[in-house]
Amino acid sequence: MFIPNRVLLEKESLDYPLGKELYDRFRNDSEVEIIKLTSNKINQYIPGEDMYKKYREGKKTLVVGTKKSLKFQSCKPSAHYQLPLVSGCMGQCEYCYLNTQLGDKPFVRVHVNVDDILNQAKKYIDARKPEITIFEGAATSDPIPVEPYTNSLKKAIEYFGKEEFARFRFVTKYNDVDSLIDAKHNGHTEVRFSINTDKIIKEYEHYTAGVKRRIEAAAKLADSGYPIGFIIAPVFIYDNWKEDYRELIDMLYTILPKDIDKPIGFEVISHRYTTKAKNTILQVFPETTLPMNDEERKYKYGQFGYGKFVYTKEELQDMKDFFQLEIDSKFKNKNIKYII
C-alpha cells in the first residue's frame, strides 16, 4: 500500500467529500506532513535539489486535487480515451514510461471530483453510441496503490458496468485488488497485469508486488468474472531468458483457474528505449544495469524523430516464435493481441 510522506491538498479539493475524507485521514497521522496549497506550484514542496532526489521524494508525495480540464486525452490504439482519475505511481521501475512522460512531476496525484469525471465520460459515450467507447484507467499511472484511499476505481468499474456502450480497462503491477472483487462490473472492465520474470522484477521494478502475487490477484478477479489479461513486458534477452519466461508462463498456467470462460488477453512487448528515455533513466538511476547499449540494438525510425532502439530483427523473430509457442501450448482460450 502507498504510504506517503507528505500530502499536498489543492484548495478546491476540500469542496468535495473525497477531498475532505483524505484530509481527515492524513491529518491525524503524525508521520505524514500535510500541506494546504495556495497555488499550483507543487514542485517547491518536494525536497531535493536534483532529479535523483526529487524523483524519490516525489514518489512519496500525494497530491489531492481536482481534474480541472474535463477534456479527456485520447488513448490510441488500445482505448478511445484516458480516464483521468490518478496520475503517477509509487513504484520505481527503472524503465517506466512515466519517467519521461512525467519527469518533472513524479508525484502521485488523485482527482477527487470523480463524479464530474464520470459525467464527462458519459458525454463521450453518448457522442459515439451505438459504437462502444473504451476508457483506459492507467494511461499515466498505476491506479491500484491509491485505491484503498479513494475507492475511485471501484466507483468507475461500477459506473461502466451499467453503461451498455462503454468498456473500461486498466493495467497494474500490484496485487491489492480485494476491494474490487465484489464490484458490479458486468464484464465491462478488463484488468490487465503487467508481469515479468523474477529476475527482472527484482532488478528493475522497485516497490512493486512480486510476480506470484500479481498472478494470484488476477486469479481472484478471474474468479469474480472479470475479463483479465497479461502484458509480458518489457521482455529482455539475457542468459537463460527462455527458461525464465517459460517458468513465468508455467506459473500463470498453474495459478490461474482452469475454468475461465473469457479469453485471457496476452500482449508481449520487447524492451526498447529512446535516447530521451535513456538520458532520463541515467539521471534517476545512475547505477542502472538496464541493457541500453545502442550498438547492440537496431534503430527504428519513428514519428517526429523519436526513433527507438529495439532488438534486432532475428532476435525479435526468435522472441515472437518463442512466446507464440509457449502461450499456445498452455492456453486454449486466449487472445494473443500482439508480440512486438
If the CB atoms of residues 89 and 264 are measured against ligand SF4, the closer one turns out to be: 89
Q: Is 98 in the site for ligand SF4 (CB under 6 A)?
A: yes
**How many residues bind ligand SF4, per CB under 6 A?**
10
Of 171, 175, 247, the residue nearest 208 (C-alpha): 175
Using CB under 6 A, which of the segments 87-95, 220-228, 263-271, 278-286 binds ligand SF4?
87-95
First to last CA, the chain: 32
Q: Is 267 in the site for ligand SF4 (CB under 6 A)?
A: no
Instruction: Count the neighbouring beta carbons within 10 Å of the beta carbon of residue 131.
Output: 10
Using CB under 6 A, which of the segments 84-92, 153-161, 246-254, 269-277 binds ligand SF4?
84-92
Q: Are 162 and 130 in contact (CB under 8 A)?
A: no
Q: Is 91 in the site for ligand SF4 (CB under 6 A)?
A: yes
Residue 255 Cα to chain centre, angstroms? 22
If the CB atoms of residues 93 and 118 are measured against ligand SF4, the closer one turns out to be: 93
If the CB atoms of residues 87 and 113 are measured against ligand SF4, the closer one turns out to be: 87
Distance, CA of 12 to CA of 268 (rounded, Å): 41
If the CB atoms of residues 92 and 152 are measured against ligand SF4, the closer one turns out to be: 92
What is the number of residues in the chain?
340
Q: Is 248 in the site for ligand SF4 (CB under 6 A)?
A: no
Q: Which residues pair with 101 in a beta bridge?
A: none
Pick from 63, 89, 195, 231 the residue near ligand SF4 by CB under 6 A.
89
Distance, CA of 153 to CA of 29 (rounded, Å): 24
Q: Is 96 in the site for ligand SF4 (CB under 6 A)?
A: yes
If the CB atoms of residues 19 and 91 are measured against ligand SF4, the closer one turns out to be: 91
If the CB atoms of residues 186 and 288 are measured against ligand SF4, the closer one turns out to be: 288
* Interacting residues with ligand SF4 between 203 and 222 (CB under 6 A): 205, 208
| 3-state secondary structure at position 311 | coil
Place of cell 475524507: 21
Q: Are 230 and 121 in contact (CB under 8 A)?
A: no
- Residue 93 burial by CB count (10 A; 0-12/13-18/19+): exposed, middle or buried? buried
Using CB under 6 A, which of the segments 86-94, 218-226, 282-290, 326-334 binds ligand SF4?
86-94
Using CB under 6 A, which of the segments 92-100, 227-235, 283-291, 298-306 binds ligand SF4?
92-100
Q: Which residues pair with 194 in a beta bridge?
A: 231
- Residue 321 burial by CB count (10 A; 0-12/13-18/19+): exposed, middle or buried? exposed
* Interacting residues with ligand SF4 between 112 and 171 (CB under 6 A): 142
Cell of 313: 530483427
Pick from 46, 63, 93, 125 the residue near ligand SF4 by CB under 6 A.
93
Q: Are 300 and 340 in contact (CB under 8 A)?
A: no
Using CB under 6 A, which of the segments 91-99, 161-169, 248-256, 269-277 binds ligand SF4?
91-99
If the CB atoms of residues 142 and 163 are measured against ligand SF4, the closer one turns out to be: 142
Which amino acid would we find at residue 137?
G
Q: Is 85 in the site for ligand SF4 (CB under 6 A)?
A: no
Site residues (vs ligand SF4, CB under 6 A): 89, 91-93, 96, 98, 142, 173, 205, 208
